[in-house]
Amino acid sequence: MTLAVENLSHWYTTPDEALYKDVNLTFDNGKFYAIVGESGSGKTTLLSFLAGLDMPAAGDISIDGKSLKQMGLTNYRRTRVSTIFQSYNLLSAMTAFQNVATALEITKSEHAGDKEFIFASLAQVGIDRTKAVKNVQKLSGGEQQRVAIARSLVVDAPIVLADEATGNLDHDNSIKIIELFEALAHEHGKTVILITHDRELAKMADEQVLLKDHQFTQLTATKS
């Protein structure tokens, strides 16, 4: 499966003040990508297009040649992509368990309603049963982020987008999450795209996409 960005341009006011112009990128399944750039460079905006939350002013995004416009953004969000947001974006009225269950229900996952699957998924990111039944607002920032990660992973979407997914985690947990992303890509054949400003984490990806001065440069990362 190939996720392609074709001649993508975007501006908020006029084309002369475009955020970026004629961006062309490809993302293949089974690979872990990192999009790196300074704060305010437009990384999150690109992620919103890749997540199907918005359409660019010009250009297209397609999966195996099929445009997202044709697919329908709602359908794309439900079936092809899962997103881990920088600000977690958990449903505040619900518990960790209910947040994960909601995602499974919306995406019509085969595991919808499977309580043990949900508990196991939360446990995988370090959220035990006691914390799983707590309202998410009673969890720490790091725990909330792990719940958001679990919610994103359980839906088994072919494309996983993560916007600064380790921002609130300590180093060890951050490494664990990155390793998890690697496993998703290499072992489960998913397309994992991490948005980050942390160059050290970005080096752990198979390929890096550098965003600088409104220009994207796709590189093959050299892992250290």
Partner 1 sequence: MNFIKRAGITLWAKKGRTILLMVTSSVILLFVMAGLIIQSAALQAAKTATNSVGSTVTLTTNRETSFKAMQSAMSSTSSDSDSTTTTRPKMTEYTTSLSSVEKIASLSNVASYNITNTAQVAASGFSAVESTSNSMQGGPSGDTSSSSSDISISGVSTTAATFTSGEEKIVSGRGIKASDQDTTNAVISQELAKSNNLSVGSTITVKYTNDSSETSSYKLKIVGIYKSTTSSSSDSFRDPSNTIYTSYTMPNTIKDTKDQVSNVTFIMSDSSKTKSFVKEAKKDINTTQMQISSDTSMYEQTAKQMKTVASFANKIVWIVTIAGALILGLIIILMTRERRREIGILVALGESKPKIIGQYFVEMVIVLLVGLGVATASGQAASGVVSKQLVSQSLTASQSNQTGANGGGAQGGTPGGNGGGRMGGTMRATQKATTLKTVVTPGTILELGGVAMLIAVLSVAGASSTILRMQPKKILQDD
Closest CA to 209 of 48, 41, 62, 53: 41
Q: What stretch of H or E contains 153?
A: helix 141-154
The two three-digit tokens of residue 39, written as one number: 């704060």
Question: Token pair 């995004």 is at which residue?
Answer: 61
Q: Is 105 in the site for partner 1 (CB under 8 A)?
A: yes
Closest approach, Cβ 136 to partner 1, in A, equals 11
SS3 label, residue 14: coil
Q: Which is nearer to partner 1, 54 or 179 (CB)?
A: 54
Closest approach, Cβ 63 to partner 1, in A, equals 15
Q: Is 103 in the site for partner 1 (CB under 8 A)?
A: yes
**In the stretch 16-55, what mask flags binding to partner 1 with x, by CB under 8 A?**
----------------------------x---x--x-xx-
Q: Which is nearer to partner 1, 106 or 219 (CB)?
A: 106
DSSP, res 53: S
- Which of these segments, 10-18, 60-68, 96-104, 179-187, binds partner 1 (CB under 8 A)? 96-104
Closest approach, Cβ 82 to partner 1, in A, equals 8
- Alpha-carbon span 178 to 166, nearest angstrom: 8
Report how many residues bind partner 1 under the rule CB under 8 A: 29
Q: Measured between alpha carbons, how far is residue 153 from residues 64, 77, 100, 209 in Å?
A: 22, 14, 9, 23
* 6 in Cβ contact with 49 (< 8 Å): no
**In the stretch 111-140, what mask flags binding to partner 1 with x, by CB under 8 A?**
-x----------------------x-----
Among 41, 107, 145, 208, binds partner 1 (CB under 8 A): 107
The two three-digit tokens of residue 110, written as one number: 């085969």
Spatial neighbors of 37 by CB under 8 A, at least 6 apart, are: 43, 197, 210, 211, 212
Q: Which residues bind partner 1 (CB under 8 A)?
A: 44, 48, 51, 53-54, 74-75, 77-79, 83, 85, 87, 89-94, 98, 101-107, 112, 135
